[in-house]
Every structure is written in C-alpha cells, then in structure tokens.
Amino acid sequence: MAIIRWFTFAVLFAVLASPIATVSTVVLRDPHGWAAWREIDRFAALAGNTFWLAFLSIAVAVPIGAIGGTIVARFAFPGRKWLIGLIAIGLFVPLPVYAVAWQIVFGSWLPAPGEMAWRPWSQGLLPAAWVHGMAGIPWAMAFVALSLHTADNNVEEEAMQSGGPRAVARYAIGPRVVLGAVAATVWVAVQTATEIAVTDAMMVRTFAEEVYTQLVGFPAGVSAAVAVALPVCTVAAGVAFILIRRLSNLTGANVERSPMRPFRIGRFPRIAIGITVWATVALFVGIPCLALVWKAGGGATNAGFTLTFLREQLGRVVRLNGFTTIDSTLSAILTGMAAAMLATTACWVVRGSRIGSGLLVLLVAVTWVLPAPLVGFGLKELIDLLISLEETLFRTLGIQPAFPPMRSALYDQPSPLPGTWAALVRFFPVAMLVIWPAIRAIPKELIETAMIDGRGPFGQWCLAGWPLTRRAIGVAIIAVAALALGEVGAGKLVVPPQRRVAILELFDQMHYGTEASVAAMGLVQLGLTALVVSVSVVQVERRFRLRVTQIRHLREIPAAPRETGRYNG
C-alpha cells in the first residue's frame, strides 16, 4: 500500500504540483520582480478592488442563495423538481455567458446617435460584482440545500418536542443554513478572486487581472506579476487549508442519519411560495435568457426581432463552430473523467495516513486559490521546459523526427492535451470536494472484511469502495466536465494556436461588444451546458429510481417459511 501511495503522490506532483512549482521559479530566476512591491499604492488598489469585488458578489449571491436553498430543501411547492433542475444547470453555465446576457440587460446594445453599431461594455466594479453574484446564486442555493439535506431529522424532532418551531429554527435548521452559507461564501470569494472572464471585459483591475495583463502584454513584468500574486496566494492557501481540514473532519462520520423532511404546509401557502419563487426565477433567469434570444434575433437592429434572423444566427454559429463545440465538449468530458479518477485514487490511498491526507489537502488548497492566469503561465513554462528537454535529447542522440511527440502533443498540433491539463489543475479541487466525503463515509467494517478475505487494495476497492462511491464519482465527472466547458483564464495561455475552443472564441468575441453573433454563441453554449447537465441528471435519477424500486420489491417479497421438523416417533 505504501508503494501505491507514493506512486500516486508522484503522479499528483507531475500533473498538478509541477505547473505550480514552475511559477515560483520565475522570481528565483529574476529576483528583481520583488521590487514591484515598492508600488504599494497600486497594489493596495488591486487588493481593494479584489476585496470589494468578492464582497459585493457575496452580498448578492449568499443572501438570495441561503433563502432559496432553504425553500428548496424544506418546502414542497409546485414545480420544485423543475427548479432543482434549473439550479443544476445554473451551476455550470460558463461565466462569459452570464456576462454577455447581463450586458445585454444593462443596455449596452443601444448605440447612441453617431456611434458605431456597438457600444463599450458597462464597465466598473458594480456590473462585474453583479455578474459574479448572479453566477454564484446557484452555488449558494446548492450548498445550503445540501447542508439541510444532510442534517439529522432526529435533532429536529427533539427540538420540536422541547421548544416548538422556534427551537427547530434555532437548533436544527439555523446552524445548517449558516454552515451552507459559510461554504457558499468561501466558494464565491475564491471563484470571484481567481477569474478574469468578467473583470477583463469590464476593466476591473484585480490581482488575477493584473497577472493576466502582465503575462499577455508585458513580458518583462512577468516576474513582478508572479511576485505580487504569490504572497497573496500563500495566505489564501493557508486559510483554505484550515477550512478544508475542518470541513473534512465534519464529513465521513459513519452515523446513520434520517434526512430532514420538507415541512407540511397547506395548499395556499404552497401556491404562494411557488408564485414567489418562480417570479424570482423569472427575474434572475428569464430576463437574461430572453435578452440573449432578443439580441440574437436582431432585436437591436432597425428591422427588429424576427425568428428568421434568430434561426440564421444560430445556424451560422452551428455551421462555423459546430465541430469546435463538439470537440470542446468531448475534451471537457475527458477532463472530468481524468479528474475523478485521479481524485478517487488519491482519496483511497491516503485513508488512515495523517501525513498523506494533510499533503493532499494542502495540494487542494493551493490549486483552489491560485489565480487562473498563474496556473496557465506555470503550465506554459512547464511545456516549454519539456519541449526543450526533448530537443536536447534528440540532438544528443542525433535524431531529427518529423513529428517530435512532446512538441506535437503540447504545441505544434491542435492537440486538446494542454487545455485539458489546465482544466484538470483548476478543477481537481472540485472533484476532491465531491469524492472525499463519500470515501470517508465508507464503513470500516467493509474494508476490514475485505482485508480478512485476503483481498489486495484493488479487491478492497471493488468490494467496499466502488459500490458506495460510484454515484459521487459520476457527480464529480459531470461537475468537472461542465466547469471545464467554461474555463478561460488558464486555457487561453496554453491552448495551441492551431486549436479552436468554443468558450475561448466566445471570450474573444466579447471584447467587440454584444453583437447578435455573440448572443447566438452564448445561446449555443447555454444550450450545450443544459443538454449535458440534463442528460446526466436524468440518467442519475433513473438509476436512483430503479434502485429504490428494487429495494421496495425485495421488501414486498414475503420471507420463506422456516422448515420445522416434526418428530414421528
């Protein structure tokens, strides 16, 4: 087992840690980058922008998400299952699609007299925070709903008997809502501070945006950008490490729980809650979606909105980007499978190892808080190093291959490997956060039984691990694949020039305004994400219903009568 554990950590370092380690070597090669900290006023402004962007995004997402998640988890109302499906889709809508939709709502499609057909984007901190907040609402709702769903119903019954509804709200529901809200706050803060898809278009200078600007525009300032970002990331990684360790201690307890059941309320309160919820959904979801349709249909032109123009725009996008979209989807699915397999192996081999689990949590914390441009830059430097080593090797051996394997796979050819690698590094923490609790919750008795039977590590996994974690692995694959569909910050720096990626083309077109073609590209990306998530959710639900039906069928089968012998003497 120790050999397998060390081999797994070697793979983790080669795939995940080596791009991050490459970043730190930049300031070692050029120590003058630390002189950038002399510009304390500029970096104080960057820190202030990053803080306020995250704070305002949290102020938008967490209160709405906490209320919505509580309603979804604890109340039955008309259309509740459909709302859960919308939340699942909203989790993985790419951030550029949110940005395009809300920019149309903000009014950027109306040209002033004498101006061009498009106007500059609504710029500034408030629009950027609003877009990030809207993208964070589904995550906040999911965190709060899951926190309530995993609570113990026995605690609620005891609170009801001792103090009534107030005691239930104070001792049973309130703490779980707070826990989910805290998790949502951390998630929204990290996602906001490490992304550039919105801040780049809206001209908001944060630490991540500063790194991206230095990397693509000022090669001489790369060392300064890394020197500025590394101390901030180190502090953030320390905080994330403490939080993940504490949350991991709360998961995996092998205690059978009775999940909280929805409140039983009357017919009219259910209808009132349903109307309120769906009115809110129409405001926050319906308006931007209709804005995308309206814009793609020519609503901003003199001719006005027509279905013919909408079909032409969608058909044009499908013709030009159809193969690219399919190719990007397959690459995202490959990324999800690789992340889930790597996370599952890592979680399984570190069971019972305090040092191993600590190192794994540290790796998750660092990769989680590292800005996307730094991930892309580190991977780009690593790719250059690998290509240089390959050229040196071939030159030493006197070989000149027509297609050097390393160079072809990572740069010369339209290979999906660099983009997949970047997305794997960025979203490996997501797979870990999904799979880690499932593996920790495996009863130790099952593993001990497999060990007594003489099974090795693989046999133990087949007997005790796979049956109880396959659903979590499937969720991790879906989550990472859907997030990889919208990855921009790291992939933009490492994707080979010959390769086309759907979300990167949308990101490039965003800088020219919210034209009808950009809105059509957003609609296609939104439809693709909805299709991937919906098909996955339907398959999971079908398997769950089949499992429940089989259990009920087994329970309905009467037990075989015991054979009682009669002595005939």
Could you identify the residue written with the tokens 């909280």? 260
pLDDT, position 115 = 43
pLDDT, position 110 = 45
Identify which has the larger pLDDT, 264 or 528.
528
- Is pLDDT of 475 > 90? no
What pTM did the predictor assign?
A: 0.78
Average pLDDT, the chain: 78
pLDDT interval class at 257 (50, 70, 90): very low
Distance CA 418, CA 464 (A): 35
Mean pLDDT across 247-260: 49
Mean pLDDT across 441-453: 79
Identify which has the larger pLDDT, 343 or 508.
343
To the nearest 10 degrees (0 to 180), the angle between helices 466-485 and 417-440 is 140
Mean pLDDT across 334-354: 87
- Is pLDDT of 215 > 70? no
pLDDT, position 369 = 80
Identify which has the larger pLDDT, 11 or 547.
11
Mean pLDDT across 53-66: 92
- Is pLDDT of 62 > 80? yes
Using DSSP, state whether 502 is helix, strand or coil: helix
Collect all residues with Cβ–Cβ distance below 8 Å to 515 and sequence separation of at least 6.
117, 118, 509
Enter the tokens of residue 563. Answer: 């054979």
pLDDT interval class at 133 (50, 70, 90): very high
- Is pLDDT of 254 > 60? no
Identify which has the larger pLDDT, 40 or 326.
326
pLDDT interval class at 368 (50, 70, 90): confident
Query: Which domains, and CATH codes, for the chain?
Result: 2-252+265-545 (1.10.3720.10)
pLDDT, position 561 = 47
Mean pLDDT across 33-45: 71
Identify which has the larger pLDDT, 530 or 33.
530
Identify which has the larger pLDDT, 83 or 27.
83
Mean pLDDT across 396-411: 84
Phi first, then psi: give them for residue 259, nearest 5 degrees. Answer: -60, 150
- Is pLDDT of 517 > 60? yes
pLDDT, position 152 = 63
The residue among 324, 267, 331 whose CA lies nearest residue 487 is 331
pLDDT, position 340 = 92
First-to-last C-alpha distance (Å) of the chain? 61
Within its chain, how far is the Cα of 122 from the centroid? 26
The residue among 368, 495, 360, 384 whose CA lies nearest residue 26 is 384
Instruction: Please spell the DSSP secondary structure of 109-141, one letter per residue.
Output: T-PPTTS-SS-PPP-SHHHHHHHHHHHHHHHHH
Distance CA 146, CA 412 (A): 45
- Is pLDDT of 540 > 80? no
DSSP state letter for 413: S
Residue 176 one-letter amino acid = R
- The torsion angle over the Cα atoms of residues 392, 394, 397 and 401, rounded to 10 degrees, is -160
Of 14-18, 507-511, 531-535, give the range with the top mean pLDDT.
Answer: 14-18
Using DSSP, state whether 566 is helix, strand or coil: coil
- Is pLDDT of 253 > 70? no
Phi first, then psi: give them for residue 75, nearest 5 degrees. Answer: -125, 140
- Is pLDDT of 119 > 90? no
Q: Tens of pLDDT along 263-312?
A: 667 778 888 888 888 888 888 888 888 888 888 887 766 666 788 888 88
The residue among 404, 415, 428 whose CA lies nearest residue 494 is 415
DSSP state letter for 93: S
Enter the tokens of residue 278. Answer: 């769906």
Residue 261 one-letter amino acid = R
Enter the tokens of residue 280. Answer: 């809110």
pLDDT, position 59 = 94
The residue among 96, 50, 94 whose CA lies nearest residue 208 is 50
Using DSSP, state whether 122 is helix, strand or coil: coil
Using DSSP, state whether 152 is helix, strand or coil: strand
Residue 144 contacts residue 185 (beta carbons within 8 Å): no
pLDDT, position 64 = 92
